[in-house]
Chains A and B, each alone.
Chain A
Amino acid sequence: MIKVINRVKGFITLEIEGLNIERFLNKIIRHKIHIVSCKRISLTLSEITIFDTDKTKLFSLLKNDYNVSVGSISNGNKIYKFLFKRYGFIIGLIFSIVCFTFLCGKVWKIDIEGNELIKSNEIITILNNAGVKNGSRLEEIDTDYLEGLLLEKNDKISLVSVIKIGSTIKVNIKEKVDDGTDKITSIISDFDGIINNIELIQGTCLVKCGDIVKKGDILVDSYTFDGDNNKIQVQAKAKIYATIWVKGEIVFDENETRLVRSGRYFTKSNLNMFGLNMPLKRDEEKYNYYEIEKFSKNICKNTLIPFTIIKEKIYELVEIEDNKSFEDEKELLIKKSIYLAYDKLNAVDNLDIISEQTDIIQVGSKYYVTTYVKLIKQIGVDK
């Protein structure tokens, strides 16, 4: 290791002039000076290269017996001298690295984008209260938590993403679109029917008792007139009751055909890479009716190799006729049609039912089971 450091520090080449160079070499070896290279140029002149660190030790051994002149200094030595003799530079460099590392771990800017209605200060206040401010440690900031917090604290935010870019916290906001819920609305009929009763609270009623209304008709408009006969906009409010009919229909075929798997099948296998399919196995058979089951499996569990095997099983289907008796299924079909009728009301409780009637019509092998429910219901939705 010391030798490696010495090599980094560099070498020095000296020209030594004097007699009996062998004695000199033995002397420096005994003083544990490492010779990198040594060459005799003439009888009295030799060139010797040693580590720069051994230079002073060598000069102390020479005394006055030999004349020494410095030949060359290797580059390593120059770099060593440049770097390791300039303590101020080294300290400044280390200080800069430490400062840079320290400052990189802190938040120095909070950048908010995508906000038009929401003020940036509101967001910054929420973040500050959560401990995110200039000078906070980046490691301690949980972006998922901040996203949840912003969504919770500000109702106007629809989507938010918080990301760390360098020493900046970037908050990207998508504001909620004004869906018009705060706007003045009219009352629109949501069923076909005959108006029975009207309790007008606010607005202008456009229908009267006994009127036939269709789905989508305006029942109460969003305006009224003040004392000076000026038209003013108001929120329509009213309770309107109407007689309505709802229908539930179900069709039953005595000779119904069903498709079932015959048990025959063939498989197709494809090797997929980035959406590119390469067929592996393909047993083609032609079926009139078929059903496909698809499986896919990654070759490598951790998706290191992006190959996926896609296997398709094509099952043959055959037609089977089910000869069922309508009389056996009648009760169940009537119940189903009643259920379908009531399902359209979107409400089950407090229904004022006037009548309930089920009709059965036969056309060939088909039976149409239809249930009509007549009832009084509050109608109208704000729109």
Chain B
Amino acid sequence: MLNFFNEILSNNELLSSNIGYKYLNIAGRMIYVMGYKDILVFSNEIMSFKLHGKKVLSVKGVDLSLKEMDGQIAMICGLISIVEVIG
């Protein structure tokens, strides 16, 4: 999958590409997450990912499902209402 995060970060001197987690919310219909460690919660209403640095990314919504998931990236589809990083 195209890693466009590195493209964005390559133009920003303050941030390096190894800053940890990254996510992108596309119109509340899709969340693109990068740099997660584990899945903590997986259901149709909430999905939580354990991030580096004892943080948790939580996605809440309706009819959530996973698309194109491997060890580095995950794409969550559905009607997304809340995205929050706790920790």
Chain B interface, >50% SS class:
strand
Interface stretch (choices A26-34, A233-241, A264-272): A26-34
Partner of A37, one of B39, B41, B66, B70: B66
A38 within 8 Å of B by Cβ?
Answer: yes
Q: Is A21 positioned at the interface, with any CB of B under 8 Å from its CB?
A: yes
B70 touches A35 (CB 8 A): yes
- B66–A35 CB distance below 8 A: yes
For the complex, is B42 an interface residue (Cβ under 8 Å from A)? yes
B71–A38 contact, CB under 8 A?
A: no
How many residues on chain A are close to B (CB under 8 Å)? 15
**Number of A-B residue pairs having CB atoms within 8 Å of each other in the complex:** 45
> Which of A26, A36, A37, A40 is within 8 Å of B38, CB to CB?
A26
Whether A39 lies near B70 (C-beta < 8 A) is: no
Interface size grouping (class) on chain B: 10 to 19
Check A22–B42 contact: CB distance below 8 A: yes
B65 to A37, Cβ gap below 8 A?
yes
One of B39, B40, B41, B66 near A39 (C-beta < 8 A) = B66
The reply on A25 being an interface residue by CB < 8 A is yes
Q: What distance in Å separates the Cβ of B73 from its nearest Cβ neighbour in chain A?
A: 10
Pick from B44, B68, B69: contact of A40, CB below 8 A: B44
- Residues of chain B contacted by A38 (CB below 8 angstroms): 42, 65-67, 69
Which A residues are CB-close (under 8 A) to B70?
29, 32, 34-35
B 31-75 binary contact with A (CB < 8 Å = 1; else 0): 000000011111110000000000000000000011111110000
Which residues between 4 and 38 of chain A lie within 8 Å of chain B, taking CB atoms?
A: 21-22, 25-26, 29-30, 32, 34-38
Q: Could you list some 28 contacts between A and B, CB below 8 A?
A: A21-B42, A22-B39, A22-B40, A22-B41, A22-B42, A25-B66, A25-B69, A26-B38, A26-B39, A29-B39, A29-B70, A29-B71, A32-B70, A32-B71, A34-B70, A35-B66, A35-B69, A37-B65, A37-B66, A37-B67, A38-B42, A38-B69, A39-B44, A39-B65, A39-B66, A40-B42, A40-B43, A46-B42
Q: Which 10 A-B pairs have the closest CB atoms?
A: A38-B66, A35-B69, A39-B65, A22-B39, A26-B38, A34-B70, A22-B42, A25-B39, A37-B67, A29-B71
